[in-house]
């Protein structure tokens, strides 16, 4: 029963006189917990007679539902929200979800929205990728050369893929991204990366890649309340704990690029061993297209019977398994890069890289790629 104003005042006066909740409760004839509640409200600066909101089962999911309502512009149904909450571990009833969604929609319509909210991981929401500096490997000319590591992961299941590459150009990014998606078993809703990632890669290029796989390519920045007014309205803000990890235990040098590729494959297998959440997340991922994205891979050529490809006035050898198959060739920084569709779990992969003669490199570089 709600106490009147006079009864509340008597309770506070009795407590001030005795400094004991039990003694004050005997004086005014109420429960000691009632005395503690009114005294705690007064001492913390809250309205003494205001109702107390008890913790709810849905408190930890409020921000996620607000994000869904905001992204759907208030059109999210409670039934779909309940299915998605169940995948996040929510064990409440659909009636509780309907009340939660209705409250979130009411706040959204009233304009009670935050400009920035860190994305909370959920199955099938986003894949994040990033480039880092890789170990030293002998190049096509035999000289030690730095490589790059492509890191991609699904924040909810913590499934991670590391792939080596010679450069960070758009074709290399397409090959690595295609391989990562096939290793993860599906395509999420968003492909996120840091602004300006890659060499000469524009957002329109990433948008075309996302269009092929049916995902939206967007930029992301770490979420920080102190940087909410920096003007970058179009970027996704992610909590620092959900950023893609970039640490590896690879060696500083390798005898060949194949050895580095094998080391990255073993590292990927080890960090994902025992990961049971990826099975649950794959149910929310969309299927990977059967054909890989061949954006900006270069010119298509067919490998002749002599296991070589013609370019300029020379012929460059390729692995015997590629005889009669189509490959893509392009010139990058004085080198001829050959990419093939392996028609397996990896699909697009760089199969050869040859050093071009100085004259050929100057004359042909702008014509291919």
Q: Please choose, from the candidates 207, 209, 149, the residue with its C-alpha nearest in 3D space to the C-alpha of residue 178.
A: 209
Nearest to 81 by CA among 115, 112, 122: 122
CB 24 within 8 A of CB 9: no
Specify the pairing of strand 159-165 against strand 144-154: antiparallel
Instruction: Provide the residue-wise pLDDT of the chain in tens; the chain has 369 residues.
Output: 677 888 888 888 899 889 899 999 999 889 899 888 888 888 877 777 766 667 788 888 888 898 899 888 889 999 999 998 988 888 889 999 999 999 999 888 877 655 566 778 889 999 999 999 999 999 877 889 999 999 999 999 999 999 999 988 888 898 899 999 999 999 999 999 887 666 667 778 888 889 999 998 888 888 776 655 444 445 788 888 889 999 888 888 899 998 999 999 999 999 999 989 999 999 999 999 888 887 768 888 888 888 888 887 788 888 888 888 888 888 887 888 898 887 766 778 888 888 888 655 455 445 544
366: which 2 tokens? 């702008």
Residues present in the chain in total: 369
Burial readout 78-95 (b: 16 or more C-beta within 10 A, e: otherwise): beebbebbeeeebebeee
pTM above 0.75, yes or no: no
Rounded Cα distance, 336 and 145, in Å: 16
3 state DSSP class of 165 = strand
Transcribe 13-52 into DSSP letters.
HHHHHHS-HHHHHHHHTS-HHHHHHHHHHHHTTS-TTSPP
CB 250 within 8 A of CB 266: no
83: which residues sit within 8 A by CB, 6+ positions away?
none
Q: Would you give the DSSP letter of residue 242?
A: G
CA distance 9 to 233: 51
What's the helix, strand, coil split of the chain in %, to 5?
35, 20, 40
Question: For residues 117 and 128, what is the distance between their CA atoms, to the nearest angstrom?
Answer: 17
pLDDT of residue 139: 83
CB neighbours of 149 closer than 8 A, spacing ≥ 6? 131, 132, 133, 134, 162, 163, 164, 165, 246, 248, 250, 264
CA of 102: how far to CAs of 71, 97, 239, 281, in Å? 15, 8, 27, 27
Please give the DSSP secondary-structure letter assigned to residue 278: H
Q: Are 338 and 309 in contact (CB under 8 A)?
A: yes
- The values of phi and psi at residue 358, to 5°, are -55, -45
């Amino acid at each position: 029963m709600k106490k009147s104003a006079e009864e509340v005042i008597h309770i506070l006066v009795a407590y001030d006189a005795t400094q004991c909740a039990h003694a004050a409760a005997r004086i005014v004839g109420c429960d000691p917990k009632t005395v503690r509640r009114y005294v705690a409200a007064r001492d913390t600066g809250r309205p003494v007679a205001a109702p107390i909101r008890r913790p709810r089962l849905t408190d930890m999911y409020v921000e996620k539902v607000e994000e869904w309502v905001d992204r759907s512009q208030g059109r999210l149904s409670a039934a779909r929200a309940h299915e998605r909450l169940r995948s996040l571990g929510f064990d409440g009833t659909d009636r509780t979800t309907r009340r939660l969604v209705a409250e979130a929609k009411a706040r959204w319509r009233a304009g009670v929205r935050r400009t920035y909210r860190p994305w909370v991981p959920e199955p099938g929401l986003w894949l994040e990728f990033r480039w880092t500096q890789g170990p030293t490997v002998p190049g096509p000319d035999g000289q030690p050369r730095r490589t790059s590591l492509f890191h991609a992961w699904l924040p909810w299941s913590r499934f991670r893929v590391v792939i080596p590459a010679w450069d960070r150009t758009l074709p290399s990014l397409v090959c690595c991204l295609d391989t990562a998606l096939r290793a993860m078993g599906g395509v999420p809703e968003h492909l996120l990366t840091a602004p300006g990632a890659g060499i000469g890669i524009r957002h329109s290029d990433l948008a075309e890649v996302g269009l092929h796989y049916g995902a939206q390519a967007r930029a992301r920045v770490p979420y920080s309340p102190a940087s909410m007014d920096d003007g970058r309205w179009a970027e996704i803000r992610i909590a620092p704990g959900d950023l893609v990890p970039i640490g590896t235990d690879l060696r500083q040098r390798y005898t060949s690029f194949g050895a580095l590729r094998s080391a990255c494959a073993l590292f990927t297998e080890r960090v994902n061993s025992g990961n049971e959440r990826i099975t649950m997340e794959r149910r929310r991922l969309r299927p990977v297209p059967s054909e890989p994205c061949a954006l900006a891979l270069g010119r298509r050529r067919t490998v002749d019977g002599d296991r070589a490809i013609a370019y300029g006035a020379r012929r460059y050898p390729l692995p015997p398994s590629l005889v009669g198959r189509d490959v893509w060739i392009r010139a990058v920084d004085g080198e001829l890069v050959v990419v093939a569709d392996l028609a397996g779990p990896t699909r697009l992969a760089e199969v050869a890289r040859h050093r071009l003669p100085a004259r050929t490199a100057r004359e042909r570089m702008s014509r291919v790629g």
